[in-house]
Structure 1
């Protein structure tokens, strides 16, 4: 930790000691016909990485070096303009008037290339989506992850429920892979991961992602999604692709107020976002943003039909007749019903199945200042604070080993309260040496802190304290800190060797990672009386124990070389290589070769061959914990288990023959076409295949039991001193997978009456399949532990938990001060496989939801929007297996946990909250 902060402050001190003056190009962009200012116009300078957008008043400012520059102005629904300016130690005012037209905006992109050539997203060698803040806002969502989920078909972010900490952080994925196989950048620089591991039966189980919802929406300019393996360019965790969030740094003030609620009457959302850009003299602009998001919980639980006070769901005793057994069950059932009525027990609201409640507070500082004729300093700081509350499974009075009757005579619903701090600071300096040698030095320091508190709960082993037993517990804290220093240089040698471009970029990177687990208070994890048979630790989330506490560091050195060249006017090539060396793991080399050939102005072919490498995350190497999970038991529904997640290099893993973790290795293939079909229409189609070898996953649950596997598991756990643990899981390189898919994007602008309409059809098809037989343990026999090592449920989670297809058809119509947006999204099939019983598998058919919004701009500074998401109130398929054990039918299958779950939670397409309506006000000053 001391090294991380030392390097961070050292870099900050160095970069802030530079000062000088600069020249600027300023101006105002207006509409030719109406004379109104145009906010959000994209401005790019050829052969540089300089660019900006106009502010809310249509103003812009660029800091440029002496010489002649070509500046391109682009905006949706308007014809592009390219203007040439000459600078010789003078400031220039350049006002632009754009004529309405049918030209589609082909956005200039940052991610995917280090060349200074201006390339649109249909001219690059790799498929890239560019999502403007305007597109994000039209979704009616208030969180970046959910916004992207509605406009980027290859992206998936599903809220989880009853999943401990993952209720508060949405796993985000690309192309159906895992959260840890997509790299997130902020302003082109690596962003740190979250501290939380996704563990409890969610999408991306066993992985660590990056929390997009820590970024303030009010400060976002656009989001770039590179849909291709880029480990050789940006780092080892870019197997599926890269998401680059670009923050605002223009003048003016914008504010947005959003209020909404679900049709069911719950889940109210309130969001206030404010951005203000301040001119720093002639140096540049400093942007400040604040974002507050308040999200109430939703609940779609069904009416509970199981035991409450008397457990009538009992097994047949030895030597007990069938008739005697059924009579005993019926008697217990009648007693239970009488007590339910006597105590007025509420069967409707004893579980929370839906969104957790989260209050989110964000702040941002972002800027780029010219401090010398050829030198700029840039910086970005983000601070996020979040409070969340989610619930676990209800503890019923008959579950005497999990409660203390003096405190909760009618049982209780335990709550997990999260406190999340996330902060990051980027400081960099860039410039140009001599004739075209561009350089960039930067340092990013960031971290994520996740604290668990348990409320409305008990440690049942403290039953002797009766009513004096505590009901709130501090259960521990997870921390992840990262410091990344980068230095890169690049130069275009194209003119010197007679080519249009020949850009060579090279750089070095040094990264420090720190991972910590802080133990909770003693009562949160200790079993004070093991002989009593009562569960120890806080019910719902036993705290981290001192044995789980870690404070581990590692460093990563990396070097890269990136070459991009226009061999001819038609042929563009890109080659990249990157070597990374991990102090706790080892090194690896990743490479990439891409090409794009333009057969004609309206048709190009592009393709890529690359390999990737993802080292085990520091979380996966050092995490361990004991937690309460609920598993599906044939004929008994969901049952609680004390489950241990044990370190891969620890004694328990060694006893089970679990080998040390090694890196995932991938090979990526892609082939696509891009076409400017008409002046107002673009088309991209990209097919891909991603093979991943030795993919890191969590094993199935090694459970104590009477079977051969259960008895051997019990012996191994007891021998390792884990006598209180009923099940064990481990991280391991269990499987090889193959993902194949297709991305399609068709977009265009068209005149319609007196206005214009923008239409976009975008879709993703993907299929992930496990290849061959899993290999988990070096010693345990497959014929005994085959389904335990990597069971049907875990296979299904990789192959079917995310939609295998997603298509979006959207249209935005603009006429003077009026605009409307209609979007139809089809989510493909998902499945949830039972660990043991195929009859309990759930198959959820494709669903289509419709979003609609209408906006009117009353003045230049005020716009009102009213809209609805999922306006036809579409829900996923209900769980098909709705039978449950009853007093007279004890052997019925149960996949609904006595009807508490109406919709599946293991695999979700778009959630199960139903329709949502909202209103918003947007201010531009």
Structure 2
């Protein structure tokens, strides 16, 4: 009676918490704590079940659990992602609850972790047991890179993944292009918790890696929300749909209860590029196996600048061409003397005005402020069904610059506003949101899932510290220096219904999983024009350039709101035909209402010769539909074109593929890219603590979509045809035209190697991973040209010139090799990583003399950590420890008084660019040191 009274008292005092207190005091049950075997730290979110039964629970924030069971003997199993599962016996009888504690050891690197992406079977398989190669990267591995953005974290832990920040590339300064196996950003599909994630609104139209493509903004997802990332390195269009030619990246969000905090401050060795980041994740355990996980994260990334000192003309343009009088060019002596005189005038004015030549552009990272919030939840709906939801909001504000406008550029500068020229800014405002809701469960052996995900991205452009030169007549009165230049948007709604069942028992097989599904997707792409002053030329007769300098606004003629519907159906079969032979086959049909249907298929198998060796291979075909961006984007912008003597500004129009101008050029309608993928690999576990995977691949892509080079006006040949077409369309102010077109075929070949070991040392734990990717891409066959234009290489009228070819085939590292050691000894840890980035190459559009080759580089990262409280760890580290930079640009023989009469070769734009913008290995910011604090409660 006393015990009963005490229980009643507790019930009235603490209300809702009474259920937990009662469960802990029941006579028939088990309780205990789960800890990390190496550190002794309590592990929240660990699953504890009674094997063979239906009872289960998860540990709370303190690593404690309580499990109600009837009287009898049980085998309890504790499992947690990244740790080896453990089973313990438990004998439950009347009396006090039984205490069973668990101590979990970390698994062998990532190769022993169960893979989700790439298979719809419930059979648990590690990455050495799958039919296709998969990298599994835990959140602790991402944090250990010392990076704070998901793209950069992946860049240093996934060998086939590549992402480098771009500079002076308009919107691409704010969203990093990312790729797998050297292919395009739009040839990899991104999933969030297994569901398609939307693309960005931005299409990359500058001279960067991924030019002409549309990617997915991984940095819109807080790194603090990510539990792990799975990278499927194989064609998967038949399983997941369009865009999965190179592979799939699946981000799994956190589910475990408890509080985790990660904060970092740091900066570049050079003293700029300061970083401040704080991420907070709070997980709550709901009834049954339900959970609610909330994440908030803020990131600040300061700008960096690695520009050189400018040596070119400022007030007087002495870099002028040779004069001609009555058809007779001036003599060499007169030419040199004239240029010398102009040069002397310029130097006098520079000195008089105190013009600073040092680093007057910003060649480096843009400044970015990023704030994000995400939720991830599951709520049981009875014994065999659950409701789940994932959603997030992300806000980013960026500031980047263009090229300096100098006073001598009188068509671009209003001297009353900017007597000494100006450095224009592009200010971006990016809003990203998504919401996934779904219900899944099991009925009569069928596992079913119905979901809908809506997401989108809006990219607003504002131009500051600039002018519209055609408004010079306004003087300094009411003459704008800030402009709203327009907004891009892309929204996507995807509905899925799927069902799967394993018929292995009925067929006398270990497994025979059949999965079927239906998909519906609606895409919506829009361009909203900017204010009139951002794009209009208010005085065409003046010869001044209209629109905001650095980024002319989108015009009403560019405005669009385009939609399309996509319908899909797939079947996916996976079977352990024998204990040694695993086979997977899949087929998918998708219909696009704007260009038609497509079929993709896949056949994959793995044969296990023994515990130490397996052989696996796949063959598949895939496709990538042209994005709405590629079909409907249009704009008129100022493009700086390399002429061999510097950068020349040209007003360039991008015209829709279905426009009358494109049709007049003879550009065919866009169609889907088609691919054929082959892979063959081995997996091996020669010893219990060593795993090896080696996978070779070949990817053939036909009708690859590219963004053309400029088709320039001229007075003869193709140039005259271009001029006539543009003039006939009322585009007299436009110097050149560009299009999207299916123009080339490519073949990509390569090999991936991952070797991991975790030797158990008497004094601590050591994880060692060697990961490598070697690849080569070649353009094959003839390059398709617009039907109505003759070849005219002298005017640069090629759809896909040598610079474009190099950007596609040589601008990303030919190989990337990473060796990582992670050592832990009680409270102390250390991470040492060596990353070798292979050679990259850039070509000039016309002149081979200006081609550049950048040699391989080795980058070293090192950090040490100390756990000074049971739940708090402090890490001090340096990325690029030895301050390594890429090769400098070598073709820098630009005009000087001593060379006025000589040929000029210049990739540096009169010394402004020290490092390449078009081919990047790992960026050009140098070393970075940081202090990180992480806590788990």
Q: TM-score by structure 1 length?
A: 0.93
Shift of 1:94: 9.2
Matched, 1:114 2:120: yes
Matched, 1:502 2:512: yes
Task: Indicate which of 651, 657, 675 corresponds to 1:648.
Answer: 657
Alignment of 1:552-701 (within 5 A): 552-634=562-644, 636-701=645-710
Matched, 1:761 2:770: yes
Alignment of 1:440-455 (within 5 A): 440-455=449-464
- Verify the 8 A CA contact 2:712 2:796 in the aligned structure 1: no
Q: Tell me, what secondary structure is at the counterpart of 2:798?
A: helix
Higher CA-based Rg? 2
Q: Tell me, what secondary structure is at the counterpart of 1:400?
A: coil
Matched, 1:916 2:928: yes
Kindly provide the CA deviation profile for residues 390-418 of structure 1, in whole angstroms up to 9, marking residues without a partner as x.
00000000000001100000000000000
Shift of 1:882: 1.4
Matched, 1:188 2:194: yes
Matched, 1:204 2:193: no
Q: Tell me which moved more, 231-240 or 40-49.
A: 40-49
**Unmatched segments (≥5 aa) in structure 1:** 1-22
Task: Indicate which of 25, 32, 35 corresponds to 1:30.
Answer: 35
Kindly provide the CA deviation profile for residues 621-648 of structure 1, in whole angstroms up to 9, marking residues without a partner as x.
11100111111013x2111111111100
Name 1:550's counterpart in structure 2.
560
- Verify the 8 A CA contact 2:45 2:80 in the aligned structure 1: no
CA distance in 1, matches of 2:335, 2:66: 82
Q: Tell me, what secondary structure is at the counterpart of 1:337?
A: helix
Kindly provide the CA deviation profile for residues 271-314 of structure 1, in whole angstroms up to 9, marking residues without a partner as x.
01000012234462100000000011000000000000000001
Q: 1:72 to 1:32 in 2, by over 3 A?
A: closer
Alignment of 1:812-827 (within 5 A): 812-827=822-837
Name 1:717's counterpart in structure 2.
726
Q: 1:45 to 1:207 in 2, by over 3 A?
A: farther
Task: Indicate which of 524, 537, 544 corresponds to 1:527.
Answer: 537
Matched, 1:233 2:232: no
Q: 1:669 to 1:45 in 2, by over 3 A?
A: farther
- Verify the 8 A CA contact 1:214 1:384 in the aligned structure 2: yes
CA distance in 2, matches of 1:896, 1:401: 23
- Verify the 8 A CA contact 1:136 1:147 in the aligned structure 2: yes
Name 2:136's counterpart in structure 1.
130
Matched, 1:292 2:298: yes
Q: 1:53 to 1:417 in 2, by over 3 A?
A: farther
Task: Indicate which of 294, 313, 330 corresponds to 1:307.
Answer: 313
Q: Tell me, what secondary structure is at the counterpart of 1:716?
A: helix
Q: 1:755 to 1:247 in 2, by over 3 A?
A: same
Matched, 1:249 2:261: no
Task: Indicate which of 815, 830, 846 corresponds to 1:836.
Answer: 846
CA distance in 2, matches of 1:575, 1:85: 43
- Corresponding pairs, count: 893
Shift of 1:859: 1.0
Matched, 1:741 2:746: no
Q: Tell me, what secondary structure is at the counterpart of 1:134?
A: helix
CA distance in 1, matches of 2:39, 2:650: 68
Q: TM-score by structure 2 length?
A: 0.92
Shift of 1:26: 8.8
Shift of 1:886: 2.1
Task: Indicate which of 820, 825, 845 corresponds to 1:810.
Answer: 820
Alignment of 1:435-514 (within 5 A): 436-468=445-477, 469-514=479-524
Name 2:789's counterpart in structure 1.
780
Shift of 1:670: 0.2
Shift of 1:212: 0.2
Q: 1:666 to 1:783 in 2, by over 3 A?
A: same
Kindly provide the CA deviation profile for residues 420-448 of structure 1, in whole angstroms up to 9, marking residues without a partner as x.
000000001000002x1110000000000
Name 2:18's counterpart in structure 1.
none
Alignment of 1:408-447 (within 5 A): 408-434=418-444, 436-447=445-456
CA distance in 2, matches of 1:872, 1:60: 47
Kindly provide the CA deviation profile for residues 200-226 of structure 1, in whole angstroms up to 9, marking residues without a partner as x.
111110000000000011111000000
Shift of 1:95: 5.1
Q: Tell me, what secondary structure is at the counterpart of 2:818?
A: strand
Kindly provide the CA deviation profile for residues 786-805 of structure 1, in whole angstroms up to 9, marking residues without a partner as x.
86121001001100111110
Task: Indicate which of 892, 908, 913 corresponds to 1:896.
Answer: 908
- Verify the 8 A CA contact 1:824 1:849 in the aligned structure 2: yes
CA distance in 1, matches of 2:779, 2:854: 21
- Verify the 8 A CA contact 2:276 2:299 in the aligned structure 1: yes
Name 1:703's counterpart in structure 2.
712
Matched, 1:727 2:739: no
CA distance in 1, matches of 2:890, 2:708: 27
Q: 1:903 to 1:25 in 2, by over 3 A?
A: farther
- Verify the 8 A CA contact 2:44 2:257 in the aligned structure 1: no
- Verify the 8 A CA contact 1:609 1:669 in the aligned structure 2: yes
Name 2:221's counterpart in structure 1.
215
Name 1:385's counterpart in structure 2.
395
Q: Tell me, what secondary structure is at the counterpart of 1:401?
A: coil
- Verify the 8 A CA contact 1:232 1:590 in the aligned structure 2: yes
Matched, 1:401 2:431: no
Task: Indicate which of 789, 792, 803 corresponds to 2:799.
Answer: 789
CA distance in 2, matches of 1:516, 1:85: 62
Q: Tell me, what secondary structure is at the counterpart of 1:242?
A: strand
Kindly provide the CA deviation profile for residues 897-925 of structure 1, in whole angstroms up to 9, marking residues without a partner as x.
00100000101000000000000111111
Q: Tell me, what secondary structure is at the counterpart of 2:141?
A: helix
Matched, 1:328 2:328: no
Matched, 1:156 2:162: yes
Name 1:886's counterpart in structure 2.
896
CA distance in 1, matches of 2:746, 2:277: 40
RMSD: 2.6
Q: Tell me, what secondary structure is at the counterpart of 1:402?
A: coil
CA distance in 1, matches of 2:304, 2:312: 23
CA distance in 1, matches of 2:45, 2:191: 22
- Verify the 8 A CA contact 1:740 1:767 in the aligned structure 2: yes
Name 2:150's counterpart in structure 1.
144
Q: 1:39 to 1:679 in 2, by over 3 A?
A: farther
Q: Tell me, what secondary structure is at the counterpart of 1:213?
A: helix
- Verify the 8 A CA contact 2:307 2:361 in the aligned structure 1: yes
CA distance in 2, matches of 1:638, 1:403: 17
CA distance in 1, matches of 2:55, 2:363: 48
CA distance in 2, matches of 1:713, 1:48: 75
Q: 1:332 to 1:103 in 2, by over 3 A?
A: closer
- Verify the 8 A CA contact 1:52 1:250 in the aligned structure 2: no
- Verify the 8 A CA contact 1:63 1:284 in the aligned structure 2: no
Kindly provide the CA deviation profile for residues 839-895 of structure 1, in whole angstroms up to 9, marking residues without a partner as x.
101100100000000000011121100000001000000001111012341322111
CA distance in 2, matches of 1:447, 1:473: 25
CA distance in 2, matches of 1:48, 1:477: 56
- Verify the 8 A CA contact 2:207 2:918 in the aligned structure 1: yes
Shift of 1:684: 0.3
Q: Tell me which moved more, 531-540 or 749-758.
A: 749-758
CA distance in 1, matches of 2:104, 2:439: 37
CA distance in 1, matches of 2:55, 2:597: 34
Shift of 1:40: 7.8
CA distance in 1, matches of 2:243, 2:614: 29
Q: 1:62 to 1:169 in 2, by over 3 A?
A: farther
- Verify the 8 A CA contact 1:294 1:360 in the aligned structure 2: yes
Q: 1:70 to 1:357 in 2, by over 3 A?
A: same
